[in-house]
Chain A
């Protein structure tokens, strides 16, 4: 079975800093990583391949340096990596992104075989939109299974799949027909290490590189900034509160003295809170 995993290379967001004067992102030295949510999708795909045979192709759209993330995915054990990279994709919003990825998936189907399952992570840590997976599913007519906690059953011969999907207040057990798009929930598995041979193979592997034209995209107006219905009007740092923070003086106060000061300050700020707490304490 051929499985495709869509991934994204993202900045390690914990380390992003904003220029204090210009309010622009300082990219200096910000390391990039595979979007952590995508690793759950990749591991799930690798497990299915190990069980049922076949191949795992990883696909990403991004700048040339995104190849690093793909190579890392090969180190984990993926069989093939495809990088969709073209200046025409710059400035894509989620709609334009799903357009480009859907085209690349069609091309992958032609070149390497049609995948009954396409995986994505549940969302990225930089965009946090969770829209690209559903967008791809809709464009390619794949049955959409989001927030999947477990693949309970998969019968490639019969073309059916049963999954447990995280919903509000419980798990939905859904059965549908292949082909499907699955977005994996976080924490449902743990990415493997990859053997030394996998690492060696990955280091020397050729990553397939496609431009928009290579992926068969002719309508460039549907890509990148042009193909994005949303536009970013402004990017800004938030304002502080109008009313300044009241600092509790700490000079020459022991931790215990300071604690008493803090509690007094809290109750001065919000007197009813003291009654609430006393009621709680009385109820104990």
Chain B
């Protein structure tokens, strides 16, 4: 048992746990942080997007020393069938600003850096230490944790659970339900190494400029999911993810999907000659607002993926994680200053504060989307095919007159998806989007 008593114990050293621990330690609280991985970031999948705003609110000058790969100046959205894609690209020199808005990062490095900041701020981090259960007093209030190390108990006024999507502490302690396969996506990702110059010429980049490609369509073989490609300095992150229950139904493997995605004629040239460095899989909670567990209780708070704080539509997660971690930390500091206990009633302040942020507003706005996508899988199969076929009809010059081509395209949409179907999809999507 650690004899020192802490103001807070933070479970997990990912973006949410680090944000919470940093916020509290910076304000002079005594913080113990426990991470089950070998080092912060070791359990994280490499290659990701960093949203500057959320981090700026925690560490305003992070750009000075954080390991950032490239700032994103171009976003490509691809709708793909087996041989082609229809793309919407947005590229702007405005993104070459003094304080860029989005960066590609390599999580293992970034998390280490973030963790270094947390420790500089005064928190004590113990790695390779798994929390096995929450300790409660006779009244049921959480007062500490038990770990898998010998003599492994530690006590604190409040425990912040930032243990990630499938962290078992909260589940075992009955704080939140087990994950349901239809609200969790399984994403697999690979890092492919290429020389800097090759990446820059292939993606039309200079300096530290970066591109993000997000892709949907037949690459997920009719399942709810998307693929992505990010440019790092000397590597490309490529991945694909689908809802777990879809994998179970289809019998497809994530690895098989990724292989097919990599072999796609529009993707293969981007990876040509690269060396795959590592392969990793990660679960992403995509249930959204409706799948959210209780976020606080007597002596505990949930932050990050553990609380389903992911905006699946915009592929945002780490910014929600950092923001929930920061707000949780601020709430604990606020209670400490007022010399108030971390009771359930007092910790309700956490949710009140979160409601004021984009986190709850966005998640509430999109609360119907996960369900909509789940029920309308044809969105991922039918439309991409129709769209790419239309593009091909339109752009192929073959002696057919343009009016006939228009007609052909319209016909294909009607036979691919009935007119009422088309209208229905549009209405449903609009309703879910509101």
Contacts and interface: CB of A to CB of B under 8 A. Distances in A.
Interface of A: 15, 17, 19-22, 26, 28-29, 31, 68, 75, 193-200, 203-204
B234 A193 contact: no
Nearest to B129: A199
Most chain A beta carbons < 10 A, residue from B150, B191, B194, B234: B150
Given A26-B234, A195-B151, 11 more contacts: A20-B193, A21-B198, A29-B106, A29-B191, A31-B39, A31-B42, A68-B39, A193-B150, A194-B150, A196-B152, A199-B127
A194 B129 CA distance: 10
B273 interface: yes
Given A29-B106, A29-B109, A203 B2 contact: no
A198 B194 CA distance: 42
B302 interface: no
A15 B124 contact: no
A11 B191 CA distance: 18
Contacts of A203: 124-126
B211 interface: no
A196 B46 contact: no
B106 A197 contact: no
A200 B2 contact: yes
A194 B150 CA distance: 7
A28 B107 CA distance: 12
Contacts of B106: 28-29
Interface in B165-208: 191, 193-195, 197-198
B275 A17 contact: yes
A172 B28 CA distance: 58
Nearest to A200: B2
Nearest to A32: B39
Nearest to A203: B124
Nearest to B107: A29
Contacts of B278: 15
A19 B198 CA distance: 12
B193 A17 contact: yes
B290 interface: no
A20 B195 contact: yes
A19 B108 contact: no
Given A17-B193, A28-B233, A29-B106, A195 B149 contact: yes
Contacts of A193: 149-150
A194 B149 contact: yes
Interface of B: 1-2, 4, 32, 39, 42, 46, 106, 108-109, 124-129, 147, 149-154, 191, 193-195, 197-198, 233-235, 273, 275, 277-278
A244 to B, nearest CB: 18
B149 A199 contact: yes
A200 B155 CA distance: 13
B147 A196 contact: yes
23 contacts: A19-B193, A20-B193, A20-B275, A21-B195, A28-B109, A28-B233, A28-B235, A29-B46, A29-B106, A68-B39, A195-B151, A195-B152, A196-B126, A196-B151, A197-B2, A197-B151, A199-B126, A199-B129, A199-B149, A200-B4, A200-B126, A203-B124, A203-B125
Nearest to B233: A28
Given A15-B278, A200-B126, A26 B152 contact: no
10 closest Cβ pairs, A-B complex: A195-B150, A196-B149, A196-B152, A199-B126, A21-B195, A195-B151, A203-B124, A200-B2, A29-B106, A196-B151
Contacts of B149: 193-196, 198-199
A79 to B, nearest CB: 17
Nearest to A192: B150
Most chain B beta carbons < 10 A, residue from A15, A17, A200: A200
A281 B333 CA distance: 77
Contacts of A29: 46, 106, 108-109, 191, 277
B44 to A, nearest CB: 12
Contacts of A31: 39, 42, 108
A200 B127 CA distance: 10
A146 to B, nearest CB: 30
Contacts of B126: 75, 196, 199-200, 203
A22 B39 CA distance: 30
B195 A19 contact: yes
B84 to A, nearest CB: 24
A239 B195 CA distance: 20
A200 B150 contact: no
Contacts of B191: 29
Contacts of A199: 126-129, 149
B39 A17 contact: no
Contacts of A204: 124
Contact of B154 (A15, A26, A196): A196
A199 B39 CA distance: 13
A216 to B, nearest CB: 31
Nearest to B126: A199
Contacts of B128: 75, 199
Given A28-B235, A31-B39, A196 B153 contact: yes
